[in-house]
Amino acid sequence: MSRSVTAVSSNSEYSFTKPNRESITLLAGLGVEGDVHAGVTVKHRSRVAQDPTQPNLRQVHLIHGELFDELGEAGFRVSPGELGENITTRGVDLLQLPVGTLLQLGAEAVVEVTGLRNPCLQIDNFQDGLLKQVVGRDDLGNIVRKAGIMGIVKEGGVVRPGDAIEVKLPDGPHRPLERV
Protein backbone atom coordinates (compact mmCIF):
# COMPACT_ATOMS: atom_id res chain seq x y z
CA MET A 1 0.00 0.00 0.00
CA SER A 2 1.32 3.46 -0.84
CA ARG A 3 1.77 6.06 1.88
CA SER A 4 -0.34 9.10 1.15
CA VAL A 5 -2.31 12.04 2.44
CA THR A 6 -6.04 11.39 2.01
CA ALA A 7 -7.45 14.65 3.42
CA VAL A 8 -6.32 17.98 4.85
CA SER A 9 -8.31 20.12 7.28
CA SER A 10 -8.02 23.38 9.17
CA ASN A 11 -10.16 25.77 11.16
CA SER A 12 -9.50 29.36 12.20
CA GLU A 13 -11.93 29.03 15.14
CA TYR A 14 -11.97 26.72 18.16
CA SER A 15 -14.22 23.84 17.17
CA PHE A 16 -13.99 20.10 17.68
CA THR A 17 -14.11 19.36 13.95
CA LYS A 18 -12.11 20.92 11.14
CA PRO A 19 -13.51 21.35 7.61
CA ASN A 20 -11.67 19.60 4.78
CA ARG A 21 -9.74 21.84 2.39
CA GLU A 22 -8.28 21.46 -1.10
CA SER A 23 -4.89 22.20 0.45
CA ILE A 24 -3.26 23.51 3.60
CA THR A 25 0.01 25.37 3.96
CA LEU A 26 2.41 24.34 6.70
CA LEU A 27 4.57 27.11 8.14
CA ALA A 28 7.95 26.17 9.65
CA GLY A 29 7.92 26.48 13.44
CA LEU A 30 4.24 27.48 13.53
CA GLY A 31 1.86 24.87 12.14
CA VAL A 32 -1.02 25.09 9.68
CA GLU A 33 -1.49 28.57 8.23
CA GLY A 34 -4.75 30.06 9.50
CA ASP A 35 -5.44 27.21 11.93
CA VAL A 36 -6.40 28.09 15.50
CA HIS A 37 -3.69 25.76 16.87
CA ALA A 38 -0.81 27.33 14.93
CA GLY A 39 1.86 29.10 16.92
CA VAL A 40 5.21 28.84 18.67
CA THR A 41 3.58 28.38 22.09
CA VAL A 42 0.67 26.11 23.05
CA LYS A 43 -2.76 26.93 21.62
CA HIS A 44 -4.87 24.02 22.86
CA ARG A 45 -7.10 25.45 25.58
CA SER A 46 -6.19 22.87 28.24
CA ARG A 47 -2.47 23.50 27.65
CA VAL A 48 -2.88 27.29 27.69
CA ALA A 49 -4.68 27.02 31.06
CA GLN A 50 -1.72 25.06 32.51
CA ASP A 51 1.08 27.24 31.14
CA PRO A 52 0.67 29.48 28.07
CA THR A 53 4.45 29.77 27.62
CA GLN A 54 4.97 26.04 26.86
CA PRO A 55 6.38 25.28 23.40
CA ASN A 56 3.72 24.13 20.97
CA LEU A 57 4.51 20.45 20.31
CA ARG A 58 1.00 20.08 18.86
CA GLN A 59 1.22 22.30 15.77
CA VAL A 60 -0.07 19.58 13.43
CA HIS A 61 -2.43 16.71 14.25
CA LEU A 62 -2.30 13.62 12.01
CA ILE A 63 -4.68 10.64 12.07
CA HIS A 64 -4.38 7.41 10.13
CA GLY A 65 -7.42 6.80 7.94
CA GLU A 66 -7.33 3.15 8.97
CA LEU A 67 -8.72 4.31 12.34
CA PHE A 68 -11.90 5.43 10.59
CA ASP A 69 -12.22 1.95 9.06
CA GLU A 70 -11.84 0.40 12.53
CA LEU A 71 -14.40 2.78 14.02
CA GLY A 72 -16.81 1.98 11.18
CA GLU A 73 -16.56 -1.72 12.00
CA ALA A 74 -17.53 -0.82 15.59
CA GLY A 75 -20.63 1.05 14.35
CA PHE A 76 -19.32 4.63 14.35
CA ARG A 77 -19.23 6.90 11.36
CA VAL A 78 -16.25 9.26 11.40
CA SER A 79 -14.84 11.14 8.42
CA PRO A 80 -11.58 13.05 7.92
CA GLY A 81 -11.42 16.29 9.91
CA GLU A 82 -14.18 15.29 12.30
CA LEU A 83 -11.77 14.41 15.14
CA GLY A 84 -9.97 17.74 14.73
CA GLU A 85 -7.00 16.48 12.75
CA ASN A 86 -5.20 18.53 10.13
CA ILE A 87 -3.90 15.66 8.03
CA THR A 88 -5.46 12.26 7.40
CA THR A 89 -3.08 9.60 6.13
CA ARG A 90 -3.24 6.12 4.66
CA GLY A 91 -0.54 3.45 4.63
CA VAL A 92 1.56 4.77 7.55
CA ASP A 93 1.37 3.16 11.00
CA LEU A 94 1.51 6.52 12.72
CA LEU A 95 1.08 5.18 16.25
CA GLN A 96 4.21 3.02 15.99
CA LEU A 97 6.53 5.78 14.82
CA PRO A 98 9.22 6.87 17.29
CA VAL A 99 9.63 10.42 18.58
CA GLY A 100 11.64 12.49 16.12
CA THR A 101 10.44 10.71 12.97
CA LEU A 102 10.34 13.09 10.01
CA LEU A 103 7.34 12.89 7.68
CA GLN A 104 7.79 14.52 4.30
CA LEU A 105 4.35 15.42 3.00
CA GLY A 106 4.33 16.15 -0.70
CA ALA A 107 7.25 17.92 -2.31
CA GLU A 108 8.30 20.33 0.47
CA ALA A 109 6.59 20.07 3.85
CA VAL A 110 8.27 18.16 6.68
CA VAL A 111 6.67 17.43 10.07
CA GLU A 112 8.64 16.08 13.03
CA VAL A 113 6.62 13.68 15.20
CA THR A 114 6.48 14.80 18.84
CA GLY A 115 3.98 12.42 20.46
CA LEU A 116 0.49 11.00 20.76
CA ARG A 117 -2.72 12.95 20.88
CA ASN A 118 -4.37 12.62 24.24
CA PRO A 119 -8.09 12.26 23.43
CA CYS A 120 -10.48 14.22 25.63
CA LEU A 121 -14.14 13.98 26.61
CA GLN A 122 -15.15 16.14 23.65
CA ILE A 123 -14.92 12.97 21.57
CA ASP A 124 -17.93 11.54 23.45
CA ASN A 125 -19.79 14.82 22.89
CA PHE A 126 -19.18 14.28 19.17
CA GLN A 127 -20.41 10.66 19.26
CA ASP A 128 -21.39 8.94 22.49
CA GLY A 129 -19.10 6.01 23.28
CA LEU A 130 -16.40 7.03 20.80
CA LEU A 131 -13.82 7.83 23.50
CA LYS A 132 -13.70 4.16 24.55
CA GLN A 133 -12.90 3.27 20.94
CA VAL A 134 -9.89 5.60 20.71
CA VAL A 135 -8.51 5.11 24.24
CA GLY A 136 -8.25 1.70 25.81
CA ARG A 137 -5.88 -0.66 27.57
CA ASP A 138 -3.63 -3.41 26.28
CA ASP A 139 -3.31 -6.89 27.80
CA LEU A 140 -0.87 -5.54 30.41
CA GLY A 141 -3.20 -2.71 31.46
CA ASN A 142 -1.22 0.04 29.73
CA ILE A 143 -3.19 2.92 28.22
CA VAL A 144 -3.40 2.79 24.42
CA ARG A 145 -4.18 6.06 22.63
CA LYS A 146 -5.32 5.68 19.01
CA ALA A 147 -6.53 9.20 18.12
CA GLY A 148 -3.47 10.14 16.11
CA ILE A 149 -0.15 11.84 16.59
CA MET A 150 1.12 15.37 16.94
CA GLY A 151 4.04 17.12 15.32
CA ILE A 152 5.87 20.34 14.65
CA VAL A 153 6.58 21.82 11.24
CA LYS A 154 10.28 21.63 10.36
CA GLU A 155 9.92 22.72 6.73
CA GLY A 156 6.93 24.54 5.32
CA GLY A 157 5.00 23.81 2.16
CA VAL A 158 1.62 23.08 0.65
CA VAL A 159 -0.02 19.73 1.46
CA ARG A 160 -2.86 18.26 -0.60
CA PRO A 161 -4.88 15.05 -0.68
CA GLY A 162 -3.00 12.53 -2.82
CA ASP A 163 0.44 13.77 -1.77
CA ALA A 164 2.97 11.03 -1.06
CA ILE A 165 4.38 10.58 2.44
CA GLU A 166 8.02 9.70 3.00
CA VAL A 167 8.99 8.42 6.47
CA LYS A 168 12.51 9.04 7.83
CA LEU A 169 13.18 7.37 11.16
CA PRO A 170 15.59 9.07 13.59
CA ASP A 171 19.09 7.75 14.22
CA GLY A 172 20.02 5.97 17.43
CA PRO A 173 17.74 4.24 19.88
CA HIS A 174 14.09 4.97 19.18
CA ARG A 175 11.88 6.48 21.86
CA PRO A 176 8.24 5.35 21.76
CA LEU A 177 5.55 8.00 21.48
CA GLU A 178 4.01 9.37 24.66
CA ARG A 179 1.14 11.80 25.01
CA VAL A 180 1.92 15.46 24.38
pLDDT digits (tens, 9 = 90+) for 95-121: 999 999 999 999 999 999 999 999 888
Res 1: pLDDT:
64
Q: How far apart are the C-alpha atoms of 170 and 60, rounded to whole Å?
A: 19
Whether 112 is covered by a domain: the verdict is yes
Q: Which residues contact 170 (CB under 8 A, 6 or more apart)?
A: 98, 99, 100, 101, 102
Give the H or E element holding residue 33.
none
CATH number for the domain spanning 140: value is: 2.40.33.20
- Give me the pLDDT at residue 47, please: 84
C-alpha–C-alpha distance, residues 132 and 136, integer Å: 6
> Per DSSP, what are the bridge partners of residue 8?
21, 87
pLDDT surpasses 70 at 59: yes
- For residue 173, tell me if it sits in a domain: no
Task: Give the number of domains in the chain.
Answer: 1
pTM for the model: 0.96
pLDDT value of residue 115: 98
Band of pLDDT at residue 85, cut at 50, 70 and 90:
very high
Indicate the pLDDT class of residue 49, thresholds 50, 70 and 90. confident
Mean pLDDT of the chain: 95
Residue 40 has pLDDT above 70, yes or no: yes
* Residue 140 domain-assigned (yes or no): yes
- The pLDDT, as a whole number, for residue 81 is 98
Give the H/E segment covering residue 10.
none
Q: Taking the CA atoms of the chain, what radius of gyration do you get in angstroms?
A: 15
- Examine residue 10 and state whether it is found in any structural domain, yes or no: yes
Q: Count other C-beta atoms under 10 Å from residue 156's C-beta.
A: 17
Element (H, E) at 66: helix 65-73
* pLDDT at site 34: 97
- Does 174 reside within a domain? no
Asked if the structure places residue 180 within a domain, the reply is no
| Structural domain harbouring 79 | 4-168
Burial class (CB in 10 A: 0-12, 13-18, 19+), 127: middle
Q: At residue 27, does pLDDT exceed 90?
A: yes
Q: How confident is the model at residue 172 (pLDDT cuts 50, 70, 90)?
A: confident
Condensed to tens digits (0 to 9), the pLDDT of residues 108-165 reads: 999 999 999 998 888 999 999 999 999 999 999 999 999 999 999 999 999 999 999 9
In-domain check, residue 175: no
User: Does residue 75 lie in a domain region?
Assistant: yes
